Structure 1
Amino acid sequence: MSEPTRFGGRGHTDDLMSFLSASPTPYHAVANTAERLEKAGFRQVAETDAWDGSTGGKYVLRGGAIVAWYVPEGAEPHTPFRIVGAHTDSPNLRVKPRPDSGAHGWRQVAVEIYGGPLLNSWLDRDLGLAGRLSLRDGSSRLVNIDRPLLRVPQLAIHLDRSVSAEGLKLDKQRHLQPIWGLGDNIRDGDLIAFLEESAGIAAGQVTGWDLMVHSVEPPAYLGRDEELVAGPRMDNLLSVHAGMAALVAVSGGDLPFIPVLAAFDHEENGSQSDTGADGPLLGSVLERSVFARGGSYEDRARAFAGTVCLSSDTGHAVHPNYAERHDPTHHPRVNGGPILKVNVNNRYATDGSGRAVFAAACEKAGVPFQSFVSNNSMPCGTTIGPITAARHGIRTVDIGVAILSMHSARELCGADDPQLLARSLAAFLEG
């Protein structure tokens, strides 16, 4: 099967848009990924159980993170891994421990800023509420109110004439608390009681929550020829979806490596958690896979030494209105293929040998790729790439897809780039 056929061209992008809509939180993204892997023959393994060395597809879930891998027939304990790394979280507004607030006849929800969102993009937008509810019996339940429920209203220009001259200035504490109704009798527990009723949970059973706001506007094709896609959480569910599709596509083959998808939570605030890239999850899964196949510490060292990770995250396409903010000789364009991200100060993990690995995968897949480097006068962002390389001693390469409006409630990418990324990832996983 040819690469374009395997990923269905625009059909892959159609599926990405469905995935984005169904995944308003990291917990939903992980659940949807697991469901798709199950349909492809993968089976969940519990971290608390003993593992065996059997062949086939397996995955581990932990909160908003998932690690999935496929053990080919005849894989040795020292067989290296090929890893696609990504993250499931996006900058947004998250509900505080005491969520019920309000003033002057308005009911509001108290929220905290997660990551580095473009704050203005959350104003005057129809918002839903989704996340994970922890119950009194120790279980948890996903909830998704995917309808217009909340809104962060912007102040009318008549009441702030300075905004035209001085620009919009938002106080993170005072100006971003959404409204969700009317009333003066604000009681602790109103929001959670509403969510219990919506989810069919008995009153008083929710004792903890991880809830976040999301735009309910669905992804859409955009442009004269519909060559663009606008949608939420492309940073970085676009990479999670492409990595999942690539892993499923290569599984079942006679592979020289063990292909892995590692999608972490908490990248947007530093990755330091049990489900983040700076936590022990990936290393634990890889080591246990080696030992389950009868391997020793020497086999583990050999496997890790031959392992390569592609850290896939979105990057910046050249912006037509702000081209001076980009490096003058590096202008990644949407629909130009995936980008190779380079920073000599190791904000990205790519070096020359890593470039060669990615170039070979793109050549095998028949996919063009572009290079991204920051303007020397601008600070450079970072990814899970350097963290993965440093924590596990694994050769890592930073790549991704070029987009506009990164960290907005609604981002923009090229309609062809998602399947081009998936094709390059599949070629990489196949070796």
Structure 2
Amino acid sequence: MPTAAHRHAQDLGRFVMASPSSFHAAAEGARRLAEAGFELLSETEEWPSAPGAYAVVRDGALIAWTVPDGARPTTPFRILGAHTDSPTFKLKPKPTTGRLGWLQAGVEVYGGPLLNSWLDRELRLAGRLVTHDGAQHLVATGPLARFPQLAIHLDRAVNDGLKLGKQQHMNPVWGLGDPSTTDLLALLAEQAGVDPAEVGGYDIVLADTQEPAVFGADGGFFASGRLDNLSSVHAGLAALLDQHANPVVERSAAESKPIAVLAAFDHEEVGSASRSGAAGPFLEDVLGRIGDGLGASATERRRAFAASWHLSADAGHAVHPNYSERHDPANHPLLNGGPLLKINANQRYATDGPGAALWARLCGEAEVPYQEFVSNNDVPCGSTIGPITATRLGIRTVDVGIPLLSMHSARELAGVQDPWRLSKAAERFFVG
């Protein structure tokens, strides 16, 4: 019989397959929230001030929140931040290319994918088409494209070191024919049910078509594309939905529950500097409008922020058995050892002493183990949205996430237990 962790992993797999682009991830999250009774709001309309459950989508980003009964102008926020985008390839202008009888797609590298992991995979195109009237149309093909690797017979030294040129070698094939008489955008428009002549703009990326899979001894491994960082988006979404469906009352009548917020941003893999990224104004705009609905003054809003917490949830690194020298000698996180507390002295992660104590308490209350991650001093550390949100809003932030192998591969590897455990800790976080 499947365990709760296996059921969570199976639902994560469904979420990943429904979310081949950041726009699809935001739409799928909004669909699930609406199905659970959240009211979907438009940024151009007036928002309700009454307690309730709400969500708003901005491009490929989604923010959802619950305002509890008794919320006041100084009620603090509990924000789980994550991101909807993953390293991939994005269609360029004039994307229909090719030569020697092949149809190819002109793509630009998005973020930092492991290029070789994308070779010899059946890929789909997904994202949004925007027609001249401004309407946005989500589109996702079936298996359509592939980066074919050169046969070893034509490159006998390939196993001594594979070097891929991003411009020369990363041009996927998607058919046979003459690129001057064939239009990839027209194919996408037909898939979306719109007139190709009406398409004025697009944001289209590649995504792997292989279904997520549970495997390994005792079904302990979970392989999927886009675990960085749909694993965190899904965990936060599951926790928020559970908190909404099963509210926990642990306070006196005079003390309100916090306002639980899921903030799933776009563009983290390319720096977060966009209107829908963590460095943009989206979260501050939403929190400000929530405060306005509660009648908060500028001082009361600052008081609420000072009492708030942000859980920055993004995947981290498990120790690699074949490259252990790349890891810190004393900290070796394993798959299924529990979600990570991510620490960096140079503030590439925002965790500090109080944040570490909070995370320890949350995991204790949720009865889940956790592990600490810190980089080898000789290996530069990546970063997350954590320091960005802490800097923008002054809200104390803790960086966490599930451990992975093959991060930024087209197909990453997690433990089955860890996404579910992250969700359990997130539930305790939302309770406050």
- TM-score of the pair, normalised by structure 1: 0.96
* Alignment of structure 1 residues 153-164 onto 2, 5 Å: 153-164=148-159
Tell whether the 8 Å contact from 2:185 to 2:196 is kept in structure 1 after alignment. Answer: no
Residue type at the aligned position of 2:346: N
Which amino acid in the other structure matches residue 64 of structure 1? Answer: G
1:285 maps to 2:286: yes
CA distance in 2, matches of 1:378, 1:323: 12
One-letter amino acid of the structure 1 residue matched with residue 124 of structure 2: G
Matching residue within 64, 81, 84 for 1:85: 81
Q: Structure 1 stretch 249-258 or stretch 334-343: which is displaced more?
A: 249-258
State the partner residue of 1:209.
Answer: 202
SS in 2 for 1:111: strand
Show the counterpart of 1:256. 257
Q: Distance in 2 between matches of 1:402 and 1:225?
A: 19
Aligned to 1:224: 217
CA contact under 8 A between 2:225 and 2:410: conserved in structure 1?
yes
Helix, strand or coil: the match of 1:85?
A: strand
**How far 1:301 sits from its partner (Å)?**
0.6
Q: Aligned partners of 1:385, 1:81: CA distance in 2, in Å? A: 15
Match of 1:62 in 2: 58
Q: State whether residues 107 and 186 of structure 1, in contact with CA within 8 Å, keep that contact through their aligned partners in structure 2.
A: no
Alpha-carbon shift at residue 333 of structure 1 (Å): 0.6
Amino acid at match of 1:193: A
- 1:184-199 to structure 2, matched below 5 A, reads 184-187=178-181, 190-199=183-192
CA-to-aligned-CA distance 1:322-373 (integer Å, 9 cap, x gap)? 1111001000011111100000100000000000111111111001110000
8 Å CA contact 1:325–1:375 kept in 2: the answer is yes
- In structure 2, the partner of 1:413 is 414
Quote the Cα distance in structure 2 between the aligned partners of 1:416 and 1:209.
38
* Structure 2 residue 119 is the aligned partner of structure 1 residue 118: no
* Other-structure match for 1:332: 333
Amino acid in structure 2 at the alignment position of 1:395: R
Deviations 1:257-295 (A, max 9, x none): 100000000000100000000000001111110111111
Question: 1:161: Cα distance to partner?
Answer: 2.2
What is the CA–CA distance in structure 2 between the aligned matches of 1:34 and 1:223, rounded to whole Å? Answer: 33
Q: Distance in 2 between matches of 1:410 and 1:396?
A: 29
Tell me what 1:106 maps to: 102
Cα distance in 1, alignment partners of residues 273 and 13 from structure 2 = 29
Question: How far did residue 185 of structure 1 move?
Answer: 4.7
Query: Which ranges of structure 2 fall in alignment gaps of 5 or more residues?
Result: 250-255
Q: 2:78, 2:308 within 8 Å by CA — same for their partners in 1?
A: yes
1:45-79: CA deviations, max 9, x gaps? 21112223211101111000011100000100110
Taking the aligned partners of 2:5 and 2:146, their CA distance within structure 1 comes to 36
Work out whether residues 88 and 236 of structure 1, in 8 Å CA contact, stay in contact via their aligned partners in 2: yes
Question: Are residues 1:269 and 2:245 paired?
Answer: no
Percent identity, aligned pairs only, is 55
Mapped to 2, the partners of 1:341 and 1:216 lie a distance apart of 31
SS at match of 1:278: coil
Aligned mate of 2:139, from 136, 143, 166:
143
The answer as to whether partners of 1:349 and 1:398 remain within 8 angstroms in 2 is yes
SS in structure 2 of the partner of residue 143 of structure 1 = strand
* 1:298 match: 299
Instruction: Tell me the distance in 1 between the aligned counterparts of 2:324 and 2:430.
Output: 35
Partner residue of 1:242 out of 235, 240, 252: 235
Q: 2:172 aligns with which of 172, 175, 178?
A: 178
Residue by residue, what CA displacement relative to the aligned partner does 1:183-207 show, whole Å, maximum 9, x if unpaired?
23524x7011111212221231211
Bigger shift: residues 193-202 or 95-104 = 193-202
Distance 1:290 1:268 in 2: 30
Tell whether the 8 Å contact from 2:98 to 2:179 is kept in structure 1 after alignment: no
Corresponding residue for 2:252? none
C-alpha displacement of 1:125: 0.8
SS at match of 1:150: coil
Q: Which residue of 2 aligns with 1:200?
A: 193
- Give, in whole Å, the separation in 2 of the partners of 1:180 and 1:39: 36
Residue matched to 1:169: 163
Q: What amino acid is the match of 1:59?
A: A
1:9 aligned counterpart, secondary structure: helix
Residues 103/362 of structure 1: CA separation in 2 closer, same or farther (3 Å cut): same
Q: Does the CA contact (< 8 Å) of 1:52 and 1:293 recur in 2? A: no
Query: Which letter does structure 2 place at the counterpart of 1:180?
Result: W
Mapped partners of 1:179, 1:376: distance in 2: 41
Residue 197 of structure 2 aligns to a residue in which SS? coil
1:42 aligned partner: 38
In 1, Cα distance between the equivalents of 2:81 and 2:424? 15
SS of equivalent to 2:420: helix
Q: TM-score, normalised by structure 2?
A: 0.96
Q: Distance in 2 between matches of 1:8 and 1:77?
A: 38
- 8 Å CA contact retained: 1:94, 1:211: yes
Do the aligned residues in 2 keep the contact of 1:99 with 1:191 (CA within 8 Å)?
yes
Aligned pair 1:388/2:413, yes or no?
Answer: no
Unpaired segments ≥5 residues, structure 1: none
For 2:382 and 2:332, locate their aligned partners in 1 and report how far apart those are by CA, in whole Å: 17
